[in-house]
Amino acid sequence: MGIDYGMTGVVLDEEVDLKNYTVWICEIVHGYPPWTPLYTAMFCELTAYGMQHAAELLSCPETKGFEWKLHNGYVYITVIEPRPDEVPAREKLFRERMAAFLEDPEGKWVKDRQRISGLYKHIQEVDIESVSLSQLRELFWEAFDVFRKVHEIHFYWMYGLYLLNFRFIAACEELAGIKPDDPLHGKLISGFDNTLFQINKEMWLLGSKAREAGLADLFLTIEDDEELMSKLRESEAGRKWLDEYLEFLKVHGWRCVRIVDWATPSWVEKPSLGLPDIKRTIAKETFAPDVERERLAREREQAEGELSARVPQEQRERFDKLLKVAQMAASWTEDHTPFCELAQNAVTRKVIWEVGRRFARAGVIDEPFDIFMLLPWEIRKAIVPLERVDYRRLARWRRGEWQNALKVEPPPFLGQIEKLGEVANKDPIIRVVGALPIVRAELKADLYGAASAPGVVEGRARVIMSESQLSEIEPGEILIAPFTAAPWIAAFHVVGGIVTDMGGTMSHTVIMGREFGIPIVAGTLEATKKIKTGQRIRVDGDNIAVYLLE
């Protein structure tokens, strides 16, 4: 029997599930290494709900959202496809709902961002250590209700924007003869600011202020971040800088080390966690996206003019609307992350960690971290009777299961792999994260990608499998990873290029690569298996190819 944590209801049954669904995809973009049992349970329930809710709310023609199943400690996803006879009616309703969606989407998103921030406010402000057990149980319920509501909003926008983006790509080919892998697409959606950039610019500014205050040597020579915090407190300049940094964290410190999962601390909880990102920027005299944006904006305007000239006049109005929403999709991909993933996980962790501390004090579990080995209904049931509950044996067993899962090398796909492209094309989210490589045999490359950011670079590879290894990257190295996400953004300041296993045109890696001016090849499927740390490689973002030089 595989690793299932006792969650029989969500375990992938190969006999049944490989019959009912064509192909299953391992969710390594967010779920590598494997999530803790608590997060796995809630992700399979509430994230699946959020996607299915959004797909039905928009009446997406070819998808009803994802199904999620657990297999050997890893979560696998697939598309819930409507019956063929349902598609025409869903398409008709989708078009009606998209007409409303296209009325001031930017303004609507700003309102939804404010709504999301409002959902977090109570938990962010509460003095969690002083609440009673019954109040703590209420906060636990509230945290997961917020999780549900945020996922409703998150996936409404993701499905709407991504579906319309792919319709824009199809319109480019149909009306202007521009194929999906044409570099023109990247130029059309580049050069826009977003909240994630603004936050990272603030970190860069903090690095610049540290340099100006004569603190750079401390940052660059003291490896231990807690020790660095102590050293900064010893001087007036250091204390002044720390005060400003802590003010920054009050607003933007609601983020955990890992973008999803509650098992890593947040920057609010442990301020020293943000210092490595400052270290990576401290030697940079400019903020790369600001420098690149002017050039990208010029290229975008030229690309828009070239494209517009090819589109028939009678189709121009509809086409221009699709172009605007495709551009918003690229910006939104990074803009939503601080609100939907980063803050949400940190806010939920605040409640869960307090429950873990109280469970450990009462002897319910051995240590606070073991709270992540329990399932939501087990936690809710035990909060009030506390001293009469003993989950130590259960938590130890699940911890052993989880530690075994950390040793598993999951197969990327289960089922009919040859059907992957057909299935992925039905759901815009899978199409973004699970795009297939575009093989051009005439290039004689060692790896091909699904999407890229332009440019060519040669250098030494550095294979990084999770956020916890980012400190290993040396300046100028080429980062090789399963994926990248918001916590990886500081690495873009120092690497020469990036190659990932997963990702398409709208993936974080490709969008960031364009904005930082770094050559990228994403969606190779097997870069982390074929490339070794120290190996010299060439990343050809212009042709979406990778060459192993050693």
CATH of residue 536: 3.50.30.10
Mean pLDDT check: name the lowest of 257-261, 350-354, 375-379, 537-541.
Answer: 257-261
Phi, psi dihedrals of residue 200, rounded to the nearest 5° = -70, -25
As a whole number of angstroms, the distance between CA 240 and CA 11 comes to 52
Q: Is the domain of 316 the same as that of 207?
A: yes
Mean pLDDT (the chain, rounded): 94
Residue 138 lies in a domain: no
Alpha-carbon distance values, 321 to 101, 123, 221, 313 (Å)? 11, 39, 52, 14
Same domain, 176 and 66: no
pLDDT range class, residue 434, cuts 50, 70, 90: confident
Same domain, 320 and 232: yes
Same structural domain, 206 and 338: yes
Place of tokens 């406010």: 121
525 assigned to some structural domain = yes
pTM of the shown model = 0.94
Q: Are residues 94 and 121 in the same domain?
A: no
For residue 1, pLDDT beyond 80: no
- Of 339, 401, 391, the closest CA to residue 367 belongs to 391
Question: What's the token pair of residue 117?
Answer: 């921030």
**Do the domain assignments include residue 3?**
no
pLDDT at 2: 82
Per-residue confidence (pLDDT) for residue 40, from 0 to 100:
95
From the number of C-beta atoms within 10 Å of its C-beta (0-12, 13-18, 19+), residue 319 rates as: buried
Q: How far apart are CA 476 and CA 498, in angstroms?
A: 11
Round to the nearest angstrom and report the end-to-end CA distance of the chain. 41
Residues 232 and 339 in one domain: yes
Which strands sit side by side in the sheet containing 451-453, from one edge to the other? 447-448, 545-548, 536-540, 456-463, 478-481, 497-500, 520-522, 451-453
pLDDT for the residue 136 = 97
Q: How many residues does the chain have?
A: 550
Q: Which pLDDT band holds residue 44 (cuts at 50, 70, 90)?
A: confident
Structure tokens at 467: 């956020």
The answer to the question of residue 455 being in a domain is yes
Task: Read off the tokens for 162.
Answer: 């991504």
- Please, how many CA atoms are within 13 Å of residue 268, restricted to the half-sphere of its CB? 17
* Shared domain check, 486 and 404: no
Task: Identify whether the C-beta of residue 77 lies closer than 8 Å to the C-beta of residue 25.
Answer: yes
Please write the tens of the pLDDT for every residue from 449-482: 999 999 999 999 999 998 888 889 999 999 999 9
For residue 318, pLDDT over 80 is answered with yes
Residue 421 pLDDT greater than 90, yes or no: no
| 207 in Cβ contact with 282 (< 8 Å) | yes
Query: Are residues 114 and 207 both part of a single domain?
Result: yes
Q: Which of 391-405, 420-434, 520-534 shows the lowest mean pLDDT across its residues?
A: 420-434
Mean pLDDT for 482-499 is 92
Do 463 and 406 share a domain, yes or no? no
Nearest residue to 289 (alpha-carbon basis) of 184, 183, 192: 192
Q: What is the pLDDT of residue 82?
A: 97
Q: pLDDT for 72-101, tens place per residue?
A: 999 999 999 999 999 999 999 999 999 989
Task: Give the C-alpha separation, 29 to 485, whole Å.
Answer: 8
**122-166 pLDDT tens trace:** 999 999 999 999 999 999 999 999 999 999 999 999 999 999 999
Split at pLDDT 50, 70, 90, the class of 223 is: very high
- Overall average pLDDT of the 348-375 stretch: 98
Give the range of the structural domain holding residue 205, as residue numbers without chain letter. Answer: 108-125+167-353
Any domain includes 423 = no
- Identify the band that residue 7 occupies on the pLDDT scale cut at 50, 70 and 90: very high
Cα–Cα dist 370/403, whole Å: 12
478-481 and 456-463 strand pairing: parallel
- Asked whether residue 145 is domain-assigned, the answer is no
Number of domains in the chain: 3
Cα→Cα distances 233→147, 245, 453, Å: 37, 12, 42
97 shares a domain with 112: no
pLDDT at 365 over 70: yes
Q: Say whether pLDDT at 426 is over 90.
A: yes
